[in-house]
Structure 1
Amino acid sequence: MRIIVTSLVAALSIALSAAAAPAKKPPAPREGVAFILDAGRILLDVAFTTPDGQERKALAWFNMGMAAPVLTSDLYRELGLDRGAPLRLRIGERAFDARADQVKDGDGGVGVPTFDHLFAPRRVEAMLPARMFTDYVLRIDYGRRLFALDAPGAKGPEGPPVPIQLNAETGLAAVEAQIDGETRALVIDAGGGYSWMRGDIARNLLARHPDWLRAHGAVGAANANMVDFAFEKEGDVLRIPSVRLGDSVELSGLGFLGTAPVLGGFVESAFGDLFWDNWRKAAPAPVIGWLGANALRDFELTIDYPNRMSYWRRQKAPDAAELDQPAITLVRNGARYIIGGVAQPASRPQAPLGVEIGDELLTVDGVAARGASKENVLSALHGAPGERKRLTLERRGARVETNVEVESFR
């Protein structure tokens, strides 16, 4: 009996102590606006304001690698920008505006895919640059798919700090990266589906480290734009063992597409790389490329624009298998996916695939490609090395079936 009483007293004492102790509050939920991640690119629900004060909702692509907002021609006119009305919009509770002359009328252009090319069947009607948000602290939580714009000092950022350089006029932000013992500047570009770099820099790195080469020809997510230019189709996919940002952020085994010359090697040797030389004019430093979704998606990334600092809180390990698929490069033509090239894996000679450049990809293991999103097509092609994928192709009006092997690009 005494043992029972003693036990009851002890239990009562523990219960009273627990009741007296202050209860631990659950962590406050992280605030933000939910976003869609489409083939690595961030899409936001945005409320635009029409000239009569009505709300017009649309999907917008958040692109940190361009300087000016872009609207489809239809939306540009619907919002009255063609008549000089300002652009007014809201993301969550934050309101923003821009003058009509600061906004580009119509997506697409020379070498620039249209929104449909990148995102169809999703209807995307606008592109918003970071330039509109540089008075705030930007937080992109890839793990929870949350996008937030906080007032400076409102929240304590999480993760190791890395200083940024900022071009205040364009909104492009860059970080210094240690690559192969050299300091290089890279733009942080959440608008890029994959990390790309100048072809001349990539070729110099591969001359010193040929084992970094994974493929000649864009594959998987590195085939980010699917445009019919050698620039992408004939680029080199390489993996850099260590890209170090600041003192404590390391990106291991980071993949890049080193682009091919836009107009051929002779023109590039005479006049420079036309694409990169023009694009980097908007950057804050002589950058060699950008860090795209494959570098950023493993983090909660915070960019404190006013204080020129970024914070990188790692959420998961990098995906070494991200590019594993048959060695084909795709070109998107409207709703159709065309074989634009056969990539050459670095690990072994490419066996015949039974595909020809110009074939239309109709199905992958029975999954329809025509009219599907880029993300769904790449997901269907993705697999384990050695796995076979059954492709249905259309070649000069006839249907062709072929089994192709998934290659490793790790």
Structure 2
Amino acid sequence: MRMIFATLFACFSLEVSVSAAPDKKLSAPKESVQFILDSNRILLDVVFTTPDGHERSALAWFNMGMSTPVLTKLLYRELGVDRGAPLRLAIGERRLEARAEKVIDGDGGVGVPTFAHLFAPRRVEAMLPAQMLTDYVVRIDYGRRRLALNAPGGKRPEGLPVPILLNRDTGIVAVEAEVDSDSRALAIDAGSGYSWMRGDVARDLLTRRPDWRRVHGAVGAANANMVDFAFEKEGDVLRIPSVRIGDLQFRQVGFLGTAPVLGSFAEGLFGDLFWDNWRKAAPAPVIGWLGGNALRDYELTIDYPNRMSYWRRQRAPDPTELNQPPITLVRQGDRYLIGGVAQTRTKPQALLDIEIGDELLAIDGVAARGASKDDVFAALHGAPGERKRLTLDRRGARVEADVAVESFE
């Protein structure tokens, strides 16, 4: 349960004061740095400085939905943060710093993501919030997998300009968007693998627009958190035909409309606990955020000092991204379990050989236990109607299930 709530509230934002190191003047770096895209989340190779001046490299998750740096307990001690040393790090040539009291010790817990659950088998040891970068113009080149931190005042970035709203204390940015002819605020969160939306807003949209494509239960990239909790297993994945921000238009963009964290009855009494708390750190009353599934088609530049974003399209959206057998997965350690069966409006497929709680051992002979989420998604992905042979463990007995890929285009 502790891990579940850690993941649920991983995007809660806590106030933190960070800045560029005072002895480093903002100037143009020689080049951008490479990043890894893991389940549509950005991982950076960051160089940390120990109290004795040595360098310590580690993979860090760049998260635009949180404002407080998080370190594993081991890294926290190695860097002397437990003894009051400031957090010092470099991304390429850029040097950043945060005071010790503003750094969280240990991944996992309420409000803190669990790195192993999200990224294993990769070893991720830190989470870096966008708040650390708000002195810069941040360019995220998804096509080339490169990130650059530039000083403000240089050449105007390429792409369509869209003004942003910024909470300077937390670093979270949002844009005014037109969703189904209504003006709404959406956060921009490259730290999330998929776009999310308040469940009550999503349910209202689906009621108003019964023709929109939807599926009950997360599949594919929308299932990126893989926790054994209703918000994802019983959420609604919907495709919104048009989301416009400024002169930029997203077509058929996918969102996960989250299910109530504590159930519908509790939501009726107390409101949506997740969203009502998370959006306190946003610069406006947002209804959700644009995550990696929407952002990865662009080169995205965030000019924090001038409150402006720039969007340059690099590729067309992939409408087949969610096509797989209609199963929602739950991750426990290095194992993948069947957490639910997703349902579309079409006649549901008979899944008599699959039970909730079965462990997924292999997909067409490709081992699932210990594999990365991206590898599991790739093995499940296919053309509509294609058959996938799932090898399952059911209470110690091996079961084979032949299941068809469904279209969620």
Say whether the fold is shared (TM-score over 0.5).
yes
Residue 313 of structure 1 corresponds to 312
Contact map agreement 1:87 1:97 (CA 8 A) in 2 = yes
Residue 373 of structure 1 corresponds to 372
Residue 397 of structure 2 corresponds to 398
Residue 62 of structure 1 corresponds to 62
Residue 274 of structure 2 corresponds to 275
C-alpha distance in structure 2 between counterparts of 1:395 and 1:300, whole Å: 45
Residue 78 of structure 1 corresponds to 78
Deviation by residue 1:317-372 (Cα, 9 ceiling, x = unmatched): 00000100000000000000010001102333232252110000000011110001
Q: CA deviation at 1:82?
A: 0.7
Residue 216 of structure 2 corresponds to 216
Task: Let me know the Cα RMSD of the aligned residues.
Answer: 1.1
C-alpha distance in structure 1 between counterparts of 2:377 and 2:78, whole Å: 34
Runs of at least 4 residues of structure 1 off by over 6 A?
A: none
The normalised TM-score by structure 1 is 0.91
Q: Secondary structure at the match of 2:306?
A: coil
C-alpha distance in structure 2 between counterparts of 1:199 and 1:387, whole Å: 32
Residue 176 of structure 1 corresponds to 176
Deviation by residue 1:13-51 (Cα, 9 ceiling, x = unmatched): xxxxxxxxxxxxxxxxx9410000011000000000011
C-alpha distance in structure 2 between counterparts of 1:407 and 1:351, whole Å: 12
Residue 231 of structure 2 corresponds to 231
Residue 36 of structure 2 corresponds to 36
Q: CA deviation at 1:156?
A: 2.2
Change (3 A) 1:58 1:353: farther
C-alpha distance in structure 1 between counterparts of 2:244 and 2:36, whole Å: 28
C-alpha distance in structure 1 between counterparts of 2:80 and 2:126, whole Å: 15
C-alpha distance in structure 1 between counterparts of 2:367 and 2:348, whole Å: 29
Change (3 A) 1:154 1:170: same
Q: CA deviation at 1:112?
A: 5.1
Residue 343 of structure 1 corresponds to 342
C-alpha distance in structure 2 between counterparts of 1:36 and 1:159, whole Å: 23
Q: CA deviation at 1:266?
A: 1.0
Residue 289 of structure 1 corresponds to 288
Contact map agreement 1:113 1:225 (CA 8 A) in 2 = no
1:164 correspondence with 2:150: no
Change (3 A) 1:377 1:353: farther
C-alpha distance in structure 1 between counterparts of 2:91 and 2:77, whole Å: 21
Q: Secondary structure at the match of 1:345?
A: coil
Deviation by residue 1:260-315 (Cα, 9 ceiling, x = unmatched): 00111111011100001111111000001110011100000000000000000001
- Which letter maps to 1:387? E
1:359 correspondence with 2:358: yes
Q: CA deviation at 1:210?
A: 1.7
C-alpha distance in structure 2 between counterparts of 1:155 and 1:33, whole Å: 19
Change (3 A) 1:348 1:111: farther
C-alpha distance in structure 2 between counterparts of 1:154 and 1:197, whole Å: 35
Deviation by residue 1:118-142 (Cα, 9 ceiling, x = unmatched): 1001000000000000000000000
C-alpha distance in structure 2 between counterparts of 1:360 and 1:111, whole Å: 28
Q: Secondary structure at the match of 1:295?
A: helix
Contact map agreement 2:213 2:408 (CA 8 A) in 1 = no
Contact map agreement 1:340 1:357 (CA 8 A) in 2 = yes
Q: Secondary structure at the match of 2:211?
A: helix
State which structure, 1 or 2, has the greater radius of gyration over its C-alpha atoms. Answer: 1
C-alpha distance in structure 2 between counterparts of 1:237 and 1:99, whole Å: 40
Q: Secondary structure at the match of 2:45?
A: strand
Identical residues among aligned pairs (%): 77
C-alpha distance in structure 2 between counterparts of 1:153 and 1:143, whole Å: 25
C-alpha distance in structure 1 between counterparts of 2:276 and 2:51, whole Å: 39
Q: CA deviation at 1:111?
A: 7.1
Structure 1 portions without partners, runs of 5+: 1-29
C-alpha distance in structure 1 between counterparts of 2:244 and 2:346, whole Å: 26
Structure 2 portions without partners, runs of 5+: 1-29
Residue 128 of structure 2 corresponds to 128
Instruction: Choose 204-213 or 141-150, whichever is displaced more.
Output: 204-213
1:107 correspondence with 2:107: yes
Residue 3 of structure 2 corresponds to none
Q: Secondary structure at the match of 1:212?
A: coil
Q: CA deviation at 1:113?
A: 4.3
Change (3 A) 1:353 1:130: farther
Residue 8 of structure 1 corresponds to none
C-alpha distance in structure 2 between counterparts of 1:326 and 1:249, whole Å: 33
Change (3 A) 1:408 1:112: farther
C-alpha distance in structure 2 between counterparts of 1:114 and 1:212, whole Å: 34
Q: Secondary structure at the match of 2:278?
A: helix
Contact map agreement 1:213 1:236 (CA 8 A) in 2 = no
Deviation by residue 1:59-92 (Cα, 9 ceiling, x = unmatched): 0000000110100111111111111100000000
1:50 correspondence with 2:50: yes
C-alpha distance in structure 2 between counterparts of 1:282 and 1:213, whole Å: 31
Residue 19 of structure 1 corresponds to none
Q: CA deviation at 1:98?
A: 0.1
C-alpha distance in structure 2 between counterparts of 1:127 and 1:74, whole Å: 14
Deviation by residue 1:221-248 (Cα, 9 ceiling, x = unmatched): 00020011101110001000000011x2
Change (3 A) 1:155 1:354: farther
C-alpha distance in structure 1 between counterparts of 2:174 and 2:148, whole Å: 20
The normalised TM-score by structure 2 is 0.91
Contact map agreement 1:239 1:254 (CA 8 A) in 2 = yes
Change (3 A) 1:221 1:353: farther
Instruction: Choose 235-244 or 212-221, whichever is displaced more.
Output: 212-221
Residue 149 of structure 2 corresponds to 149
Change (3 A) 1:118 1:380: same
